[in-house]
Structure 1
């Protein structure tokens, strides 16, 4: 793939933005209850990168956005913040290695999305700098400028920081993995805990999303007694945050 201008080394944005081209785009898979169940697979390639970006958003909205009726109004609800998905896709398209003949892979599950971009980090930036938004190195400068002018990105180098900010009031946070050849962003379903009290937060921190815990295992990790922890766990269950399993002495708790 001949993507680089010999004069300045920048990415061939004109080729990537052409209506038809030979470049790989995005491969999206929507899984069911496990990776053996594929509900939908669609690939967007050999088309303008702007079209790839827009079509990927359309698929996202099919699965992670819905409408509810409140009184006489319709309200859009996002299971995963669309702004976070936009940042992740734009980040992948702007910073990926275009001379690697590989798609950006988007794996969609009921409770999270994985976006994997080929190429790893641009030279001149460390993993810490990338994750903390301390600096920005534009691998594909011309393409980045197009996304900036169209309003798809705001300030270069702030994408990861913005994704983190969008999840500030969520119990489950996004995850970022950087390797030599890929960058992966995991966006979980948003779990709003902004309406929890300080005491409820303390109990929630003592729980796990993967391991069932008895109340005797939870109490030592809180500043409260057994009676208060039990009451707070019942409140968290009513708020849909905690799942209670079993009865009597065999009762155990897990984050829903």
Structure 2
């Protein structure tokens, strides 16, 4: 069962039963889900559990009681309760809360929004923002221009439909739809008309130009004195958002400049601006901008940095302090289209990826600044510590790092040491305990060391390790290429003819699954590179040119 988060929360049955029932708290969570993207409350499952208690029975009248109690305390909230029997026999209620078409609130006038795994209050001016962003009919699906679906640009439509059918992110049942049904499925058309999203992605140039907020991108390059030396603009509305990402990357030659760094006897070429970072910034700017607000997207290039300026504030609930951990959809249909076209990663991971790439290249973390009318992201082209590049690459090769570990190690590698308090701030975490998923394994490996206690604890990477890249742990063979594994087995049997599979497995690499060793040996036998003698558990292997060898006694062999 999934963990609690943006779309899921768990409640004990005690929260809705007897004197301990807290209906106001439950109403708050329902309002928060309704104002976000909807969600599900699992009533009858404890926070730390994945299943209800064995033998738990939901009172037959509880679903109706839930509807009545929550309806009395909320406005514009819909409830869909279902009693479910778990594998262990216990019962619980799955309470689905659909996304509200208008602003939801409690009856006493309080507003909440689901942000990550918490229900946050919405107050002051943010209430007006919530009302504006939660119009009864989202901008994407409106058909106010009355552009007939027959007016699509056939080239753009054909390219989009082919890309969706070729994507492994699109379900087979969706791929089976007709072209017309596929456009309806992605909210690109409704009835006989194109939606605003359809005009944006599939419409002809003059129809796209009629959208007051169709995206326009300007690239401005300045020298060290702040003087403008180059300008490019994509403002004629011939390109849809997907094509804009590709055009900007290809049309700006500065994005493909590369640094040459010494690497022993050779030279290592590092991009001035990584393609992944630039594309993620462009996708974020296009997908998450408010299409109800006018304004161009600006790419301001300076000798030492790039600023990406997007009109409008961050989505309600997202701040520069929680951007690494919070996901709020503003244009959900455009985001889904970009995701299914493989132009963006899973929802909410784009900024994480930017952090990961920049820090692993020895560059500073991106800087995010919000104003009332714009959001600005700044990335720097300078490499603070070139040795970080090799360090992260070697650490990843040795330990198969997670994204969080790469980000944390990238931060530490750029500093002599960081306190727990500084790391918590840099990673936008709430407490020292939240550092565990980021640093637990690097601490176990000895890659990261500590001094001190509590929030004064100092985390650091041994300078000698950073310079020498001398990891204590040997490189794992779990990802060894098939041809290398075949060669290893062949060499091992050459040294130890008459070996059984257990002996070969133990010497070549115990961390490799035995089933993979067995498949490789079978392939070598089929190719005539090994000869097998004996049957079942007594089978031994030798090279074709050697006679049989008794090997070890059966009692001493691993099987």
Q: TM-score, normalised by structure 1?
A: 0.65
Output the CA distance in 2 between the equivalents of 1:181 and 1:167: 27
Return the offset for 1:65: 1.7
Return the offset for 1:33: 2.5
* Alignment-derived partner of residue 229 in structure 2: 39
Return the offset for 1:190: 4.2
Return the offset for 1:157: 0.9
* Counterpart check, 1:151 vs 2:342: yes
Return the offset for 1:66: 3.8
Q: TM-score, normalised by structure 2?
A: 0.31
Output the CA distance in 2 between the equivalents of 1:85 and 1:186: 11
Where relative contact order (Cα < 8 A, 6+ residues apart) is larger, the structure is 1
* Alignment-derived partner of residue 80 in structure 1: 273
* Counterpart check, 1:16 vs 2:200: yes
Number of equivalences: 195
User: Cα gap change, 1:95/1:48 in structure 2, threshold over 3 Å: closer, same or farther?
Assistant: same
Output the CA distance in 2 between the equivalents of 1:91 and 1:199: 28
Output the CA distance in 2 between the equivalents of 1:30 and 1:51: 22
Give the superposed CA RMSD. 3.5
Do the aligned residues in 1 keep the contact of 2:140 with 2:333 (CA within 8 Å)? no
Listed as ranges, the gaps of 5+ residues in structure 1 are 204-256
Return the offset for 1:5: 2.6
Do the aligned residues in 1 keep the contact of 2:312 with 2:374 (CA within 8 Å)? yes
Do the aligned residues in 1 keep the contact of 2:306 with 2:379 (CA within 8 Å)? yes
* Counterpart check, 1:30 vs 2:207: no
Do the aligned residues in 2 keep the contact of 1:112 with 1:186 (CA within 8 Å)? yes
Q: Deviations over 1:104-153 (max 9, x none)?
A: 111012211100111111224344332x2x22111111111121122111
User: Cα gap change, 1:192/1:94 in structure 2, threshold over 3 Å: closer, same or farther?
Assistant: same
Listed as ranges, the gaps of 5+ residues in structure 2 are 1-137, 144-186, 189-194, 392-411, 418-559
* Alignment-derived partner of residue 175 in structure 1: 367
The equivalences for 1:210-229 within 5 A come to none
Output the CA distance in 2 between the equivalents of 1:81 and 1:65: 8
User: Cα gap change, 1:192/1:68 in structure 2, threshold over 3 Å: closer, same or farther?
Assistant: closer
Return the offset for 1:199: 11
Do the aligned residues in 2 keep the contact of 1:81 with 1:190 (CA within 8 Å)? no
Do the aligned residues in 1 keep the contact of 2:280 with 2:344 (CA within 8 Å)? yes
* Alignment-derived partner of residue 128 in structure 1: 321
Aligned pair partner of 1:65 in 256, 259, 266: 256
Do the aligned residues in 1 keep the contact of 2:363 with 2:381 (CA within 8 Å)? no
Return the offset for 1:76: 6.2
User: Cα gap change, 1:34/1:120 in structure 2, threshold over 3 Å: closer, same or farther?
Assistant: same
* Alignment-derived partner of residue 186 in structure 1: 378
User: Cα gap change, 1:67/1:80 in structure 2, threshold over 3 Å: closer, same or farther?
Assistant: closer
Do the aligned residues in 2 keep the contact of 1:167 with 1:190 (CA within 8 Å)? no
Return the offset for 1:192: 5.2
Q: Deviations over 1:210-253 (max 9, x none)?
A: xxxxxxxxxxxxxxxxxxxxxxxxxxxxxxxxxxxxxxxxxxxx
Q: Looking at CA atoms only, which structure, 1 or 2, has the larger radius of gyration? A: 2
User: Cα gap change, 1:184/1:31 in structure 2, threshold over 3 Å: closer, same or farther?
Assistant: same
User: Cα gap change, 1:24/1:201 in structure 2, threshold over 3 Å: closer, same or farther?
Assistant: closer
Look up the SS of the partner of 2:359 in the other structure.
coil
